[in-house]
Amino acid sequence: MTSRFLNLVFSPSVKEVQQRHGSREAYGRRDGATEPDRLTENEAQFIAMRDSMYMASIGANGWPYVQHRGGPPGFIKVINARSLGIADFRGNRQYVSVGNLADDSRVALFLMDYPRRARLKILGRARPVDLAHAPDLASALIDPGSDAKVERGIIIDVEAFDWNCSQHITPRYTLPEIEPSIAALKARIAELEAEVAKHRATA
């Protein structure tokens, strides 16, 4: 957990609760970070492998809104140590997240790796970009061969990030992740069935 992350999420009310429960002194040693965090190669590699994320934004009425974003592994592009980008595909056309960004650019991203029980939280400021007027950015964000309708790009300037511990993360696996194991089991079953059939034929 970076000092910058702590300083953004630890409001006076949070600090007061920490004081009551005995953790404020330990966390207080890390007060004062003002410079935005920079993603390292470790974060960049983790982000590049994700096929989904959750993005929270804030509405003008104060209500938080969490939206799932998904795509092929690598759909979240690491532009540099301070910026991420995604191609925003056409969905149900409610435009809640995009509308929220017009009032408040702050977002929180939650990225999960269930098989390895790892999670990365990112705080940042997001802005929609008209890719029709940014061809270089469009090339960087849109994967070749994609037939999804891209309505815009979203650039997220990273403010801070936090790696959570693995406690209480239940491992889960996608179909592509378990297909090799299934294929190996099917092949072994076929071998055993062939052996059984052979023994029956010679019995």
Over residues 98-157, the pLDDT tens digits come to 999 999 999 999 999 999 999 999 999 999 999 999 999 999 999 887 777 889 999 999
pTM: 0.86
DSSP letters along the chain, please?
A: --HHHHHHH--HHHHHHHHHHT-HHHHHTTTT--SPP---HHHHHHHHT-SEEEEEEE-TTS-EEEEEEE-STT-SEEEETTEEEEEEE--SS--HHHHHHHH--EEEEEEEETTTTEEEEEEEEEEEE-GGG-HHHHHHHSPTT--S-EEEEEEEEEEEEEEEP-TTPPP---HHHHHHHHHHHHHHHHHHHHHHHHHHHH-
pLDDT in tens, 164-184: 888 889 999 989 899 999 999
